[in-house]
Chain A
Amino acid sequence: MELQVTNSPFNQEQAELLNRLLPGLTDVQRMWLSGYLTATQGAALAVQPGTAAAPAATAAAPAPAAPVSKEVTVLFGSQTGNSQGLAKKVSSKLEEQGFQVTLSSMGDFKTNNLKKVQNLLIVVSTHGEGEPPDNAIPFYEFLHSKRAPKLEGLKYSVLALGDLSYEFYCQTGKDFDKRLGELGAEQLTPRVDCDVDFDEPAAEWMNQVLDSLSAGSAAVSVSVGETSAITGPSVASEYSRTNPFRAEVLENLNLNGRGSARETRHIELSLEGSGLQYEPGDSLGVYPENHPQLVEELIAAMGWQADEAVTINKNGEKTSLYEALRTHFEITVLSKPLLEQAGKLVPGSKLKDFVEASSQQELRAYIQNRDLLDLVQDYDLKGVPAEEFVQVLRKMPARLYSIASSPQAYPDEVHLTVRTVRYEANGRNRYGVCSTHLAERVAAGDSLPVYIQANPNFKLPENPDTPIIMVGPGTGVAPFRAFLGEREETGAEGKTWLFYGDQHFATDFLYQVEWQRWLKDGVLTRMDVAFSRDSAEKVYVQHRMLERSAELYQWLQEGAAVYVCGDESQMAHDVHATLQTILMQEGGMSPEEAAEYLTRLQQDKRYQRDVY
């Protein structure tokens, strides 16, 4: 197997050089090189001779944390290549997690090694009238013969491929499963049988296997136990930030009633078939598209042609300029490096002078609320060829949103709560790139490139009886919809208290009927709301907290965990100060003691924040 951009951390050029070099090395040279790299970089870069996929996998994994003691053997019996492909996929996933994987066709596997195997994964298809694929037959027969060894201590799992229209559906897989059990081996996870459309159940099986193995490794490897237990489920998909899943939009509606100054979209996405998993508190990354009008205006301002081809990545892939500016590059945010690089594109430009002559502060002031269109107009950059210009642009980054759904309540779905950002600045209407994209140009049936961003630092208490206090004004309430959905589905009995606020009761009470139902059903113990524009004096969540200070302090004393989500600059700060005030007022603490109390809460994971 060759190194490629897609299966290694190397770029095209590096991969080509390595591919030219590595196959020609002698064993001694390889070992020397391996030692040299280890010594010079101080990192374990365990290049395994003979397993071509290994360098990429081990290099990608955080070396010190990898539970290297865990070995997994993956055997496949494949006729058309499907089982083989899936076996490879699960192997690379395992390697990413730091497992040592032996991947082999059943036909190639030396049966006398079976006794040494600790974890065995079998991916096998069934053919004809319940027969094993050709390359599985020797192993199948060995295992069913008297020579088969006792396999106590072996953990195994079977992924069986088949076709439901046949009588002996997945028979070979079933046979392996049964026989391994008879030999004393223990199921790691239950067998999964797949029909011809195997992607989804296979992905599910992989997730289960990975979970199970990760949990197992956590037990033997104390140092990484906590993090892997928490992040485990979130990383078990083939989709990631670099390979986002195109999630179908199931619903996209405005949560704000008529007459509101706000627009908040409730978006439901399908994760079906992605294998993506998440927990309440996690975020979803969404790749947006730039506003077509801004793209058109930028192209017009520069005198470019929308259909001219430009290079969009280091691999040299090309697409039309219009497409490139719409989906591949960031054009709404300016930065100092961008200004510097853009300045160099035009010899003797005013921009270069401006960047060099300006203080940090002056640059910041300019950058604020301006975009690329402003830049090219203000500094007359017209004339720079598009191909040159796009090379200084940053790749479009994803936007992260706190997930508003519990996967228990909405399996295979993920919900977002997104406030549309629109404002006027420097003489033009400005738009939040992602929020307006979602609000204006995405409808049910469309799809969005997404991935899960785990957030281990914003998680429900492990103890379902622990009371929780949630402070989430505006869209900050999103993760608490997930929290309460989770607590409802799992039957957790801990008390819950939500502080929510926005501008107007009548139009801005996000998810109002859901909180009402949860209050009625007891999932939500109490709720306090503050609507800042409904009364002469502006009332915010922290005011409501203070009004309830005695009770709130009581909850803290009972061990409640506090969660704060939403605006960082104002709200989170005010809420923090209010908590401190409550501790002083109700607990008789000095300011220092109150601050210490909050620090201790944070250390105990009883005070978690997801603020932005």
Chain B
Amino acid sequence: MSQEKHYPPHDRPHSDVEAIKRRSNYLRGSLTDTLEDRITGSIPEDDNRLMKFHGSYMQDDRDLRNERNKQKLEPAYQFMLRVRAAGGVVTPEQWLMMDRVAQKYANGTIRLTTRQSFQLHGVLKWNMKNTIREVNESMLSTLAACGDVNRNVMCNPNPYQSDVHGEVYEWSRKISDHLDPRTRAYHEIWLDGEKVIDSRELEGEQEPIYGPVYLPRKFKIAIAVPPSNDVDVFSQDLGFIAIVEDGKLKGFNVSVGGGMGMSHGDPKTYPQVAQVIGFCTPEQVIEVAEKTVMIQRDYGDRAVRKHARFKYTIDDRGIDWFIGELTERLGWQLQDARPFHFDSNGDRYGWVKGSNGKWHYNLFIQNGRVKDEDGYLLMTGLREIAKIHGGDFRLTANQNLIIANVSTQKKKKIETLISEYGLTDGAHYSALKRNSMACVSLPTCGLAMAESERYLPSLLDKIEPMLEEAGLRDDDIVIRMTGCPNGCARPMLAEIAFIGKAPGKYNMYLGGGFAGQRLNKLYKENIGEAEILDSLKPIISRYAKERHEGEHFGDFTIRAGYVKEVRCGQEFHA
């Protein structure tokens, strides 16, 4: 309890989750027992809170909830398992492992996430141990893929500058490793590691960075390599923007305090874009990351989880306070930020040759869902490619996949497979579809208020004719949808966004920056499909006629007066 004095605010009691973490004995809780309980496919709520730190949370098939309730069956409990790889880089062997466990233990599909991770859905409690074990055997991990810790560190998989990319990737991996939880609980529970009788004896040593109650809330880090802002660096708690001069990595600009999540009807919650506060050298980057995380550990709000993200810690106290605190802990000052420029936050599709002479193919994967469908054997095609591929796979921040580092000799073979299975870079799709993202939402996500992944494709089908008519088929417009305002698909940064409010009803947002540099703004509230289409149509046709040279859609909607510009999160609801 003596630690509590470090965790302000002091005047309010900590949330229940804090108590669960505190008494969990470094994330153990009663998971070992509750995983064995054969009477239910669920685990108790306390353990589910801890489960997140292990990379998973319990969900249920919401399509079946009422039906099963009538049948006197418990909900169709299942687990989402998130598998992370820093920077989203995996070997073909790791891809094949994911493919195998998805078929064997999950619902037969793989979801590529907006944080360059894999998600498996529909894993039953009885299969969790085997799944996690197989994931670990192939040198990937689920630890800290969710929970109040640092999440997967994202990194630009940009194949143009692969020399720099290689270096940046190494730094992202090092940051990730450095911030991994140190608890042995993960090994004990999933990998049958030896039990530490009372790990509290080792307190202090166990989690040198996090301490026994970890962070007040999740923490997200990404590294962007301009001119691509595909990782949406401004949506991150902590961002690093690679500064490349003369083809060499000089260091990183540091940005802090971004974040997407908010709650409907609670204006005290808002999305925020990160602010750039300075520059550090590559060698300093781990120290900056560690101290930043520890400041959030000590000052983040542990009373109200909605108010616990790092962005509120900074906004409540001011950016100068944070810079001062960071400087004090580092013992040195950041340099002045260096100039940089972002073009876009999208992916560059198709074949490109990297500076290392290797080829990279960026596939379009709608909403990141890898599965076989009638007439489109995406999952099988990728499996066949993985079997012969000598390079690696890179998961992009836009839920797509790069078949990377293909030698010229192998390129032919892979091209053959690509065409055999009809895999696509999306060239024949509208630019809107190529720039679209949706979160998983129904039926598995417990937070979902409306459809997202299952609905966006059909909405796009109805918007595309408007674009064709306006001659905008090949103009990049970023469109994103989520089933709730927690922001998994980073909708608050899109030029057009839909955030679910209720079944079939969405809030519509316009005006986000094309390169992910500006938040969008609410345009219409709680509208259904008909009104969505009616609202978009005149804007699209005006944009086609009235846009300036090179003017992006989001910028246009502000200039044309549809929405006001949002310069920072505090203006989002204004």
Secondary structure at the A interface, as helix, strand, loop or mixed, is mixed
- A478-512 at interface with B (beta carbon < 8 Å): 505-507, 509-512
Contact status of A258 and B72, CB under 8 A, knowing A529-B39, A534-B126? no
Cβ-based interface call for A527 (8 A): yes
Q: Which residues of A contact B71 (CB under 8 A)?
A: 253-257
Distance from B107 Cβ to chain A, minimum over Cβ atoms (Å): 12
Distance from B104 Cβ to chain A, minimum over Cβ atoms (Å): 12
> Could you name 22 residue pairs across A and B whose Cβ atoms are closer than 8 Å?
A254-B71, A255-B71, A256-B71, A257-B67, A257-B68, A257-B76, A266-B72, A505-B124, A506-B41, A507-B73, A509-B74, A510-B72, A511-B72, A512-B73, A512-B74, A513-B73, A513-B74, A516-B39, A516-B74, A519-B39, A529-B39, A534-B126
Cβ-based interface call for A440 (8 A): no
Contact status of A509 and B126, CB under 8 A, knowing A257-B68, A515-B39, A527-B39? no
Pick the contact of A506 from B39, B69, B72, B76 — CB < 8 Å? Answer: B76
Give a binary string over B20-39; 1 marks a CB under 8 Å from any A CB, 0 the rest: 00000000000000000011
Q: Which residues of A contact B72 (CB under 8 A)?
A: 255, 266, 510-514
Contact status of A253 and B70, CB under 8 A, knowing A258-B64, A505-B126, A506-B124? yes
Cα distance, A49 to B124, chains bound together (Å): 76
Pick the contact of B38 from A255, A507, A510, A529 — CB < 8 Å? Answer: A529
Specify which of B70, B73, B74, B124 lies most central, judged by the most chain A CB atoms within 10 Å of its CB.
B73
Cβ-based interface call for B355 (8 A): no
Cα distance, A510 to B74, chains bound together (Å): 10
B126 touches A255 (CB 8 A): no
Cβ-based interface call for B40 (8 A): yes
Apart from A505-B124, A506-B41: 10 A-B pairs, beta carbons within 8 A: A253-B70, A255-B71, A257-B64, A257-B71, A258-B64, A258-B67, A266-B72, A509-B74, A513-B73, A529-B39
Specify which of A257, A266, A519 lies most central, judged by the most chain B CB atoms within 10 Å of its CB.
A257
Q: Which residues of B contact A256 (CB under 8 A)?
A: 71
Distance from A418 Cβ to chain B, minimum over Cβ atoms (Å): 14
Q: Which residues of B contact A108 (CB under 8 A)?
A: none
Q: Which residues of B contact A254 (CB under 8 A)?
A: 71
Give a binary string over A247-261; 1 marks a CB under 8 Å from any B CB, 0 the rest: 000000111111000
Cα distance, A519 to B67, chains bound together (Å): 23
Cα distance, A529 to B41, chains bound together (Å): 12
Cα distance, A160 to B70, chains bound together (Å): 43
Which partner residue on chain A sits nearest B125 by CB separation?
A505
Which partner residue on chain B sits nearest A257 by CB separation?
B73
Cα distance, A253 to B72, chains bound together (Å): 10
Q: Which residues of B contact A258 (CB under 8 A)?
A: 64, 67
Interface size class of A (residues with CB under 8 A): 20 to 34
Q: Which residues of A contact B67 (CB under 8 A)?
A: 257-258
Cα distance, A505 to B127, chains bound together (Å): 13
Which partner residue on chain B sits nearest A508 by CB separation?
B73
Cα distance, A515 to B124, chains bound together (Å): 20
Distance from A120 Cβ to chain B, minimum over Cβ atoms (Å): 49
Cα distance, A255 to B69, chains bound together (Å): 10
Cα distance, A509 to B124, chains bound together (Å): 15
Q: Which residues of A contact B (CB under 8 A)?
A: 253-258, 266, 505-507, 509-516, 519, 527-529, 534
Give a binary string over B538-555; 1 marks a CB under 8 Å from any A CB, 0 the rest: 000000000000000000
Q: Which residues of B contact A534 (CB under 8 A)?
A: 126
Q: Which residues of A contact B124 (CB under 8 A)?
A: 505-506
Give a binary string over B67-88; 1 marks a CB under 8 Å from any A CB, 0 the rest: 1111111101000000000000
Which partner residue on chain B sits nearest A500 by CB separation?
B39
A255 touches B39 (CB 8 A): no
Q: Which residues of B contact A257 (CB under 8 A)?
A: 64, 67-68, 71, 73, 76
Q: Which residues of A contact B40 (CB under 8 A)?
A: 516
Distance from A342 Cβ to chain B, minimum over Cβ atoms (Å): 43
Cα distance, A542 to B73, chains bound together (Å): 24
Distance from B131 Cβ to chain A, minimum over Cβ atoms (Å): 15
Q: Which residues of A contact B74 (CB under 8 A)?
A: 509, 512-513, 516
Distance from A338 Cβ to chain B, minimum over Cβ atoms (Å): 40
Q: Which residues of A contact B70 (CB under 8 A)?
A: 253
Specify which of B38, B74, B76 lies most central, judged by the most chain A CB atoms within 10 Å of its CB.
B38
Which partner residue on chain A sits nearest B75 by CB separation?
A513
Give a binary string over B46-82; 1 marks a CB under 8 Å from any A CB, 0 the rest: 0000000000000000001001111111101000000
Specify which of B67, B69, B71 lies most central, judged by the most chain A CB atoms within 10 Å of its CB.
B71
Q: Which residues of A contact B41 (CB under 8 A)?
A: 505-506
Cα distance, A432 to B67, chains bound together (Å): 26
Cα distance, A506 to B39, chains bound together (Å): 11
Distance from A323 Cβ to chain B, minimum over Cβ atoms (Å): 34
Give a binary string over B106-132; 1 marks a CB under 8 Å from any A CB, 0 the rest: 000000000000000000101000000
Cα distance, A256 to B67, chains bound together (Å): 11
Distance from B45 Cβ to chain A, minimum over Cβ atoms (Å): 14
B38 touches A528 (CB 8 A): yes
Cα distance, A516 to B70, chains bound together (Å): 15
Distance from B371 Cβ to chain A, minimum over Cβ atoms (Å): 18
Distance from A420 Cβ to chain B, minimum over Cβ atoms (Å): 14
Q: Which residues of B contact A505 (CB under 8 A)?
A: 38, 41, 124, 126
Cα distance, A514 to B70, chains bound together (Å): 12
